Amino acid sequence: MSVKTENAELVTILACISLCRLNLLA
């Protein structure tokens, strides 16, 4: 459970970072 939760958090963080980069580029 903890591993899945950590992975989900990492995916969410990476998604936020990617969106921020796209916003900066756009």
**pLDDT at res. 25:** 85
Report the length, in residues, of the chain: 26
**pLDDT at res. 1:** 60
**pLDDT at res. 26:** 72
Supply the pTM of this predicted model.
0.61
**pLDDT at res. 2:** 75
The per-residue pLDDT for range 1-26, each reduced to its tens digit, is 678 888 999 999 999 999 999 999 87
CA 23/CA 21 separation, integer angstroms: 5
| Residue position matching structure tokens 């998604």 | 15
CA 1/CA 20 separation, integer angstroms: 29
**pLDDT at res. 4:** 85
**pLDDT at res. 10:** 96
Which uninterrupted H or E stretch holds 15? helix 2-25
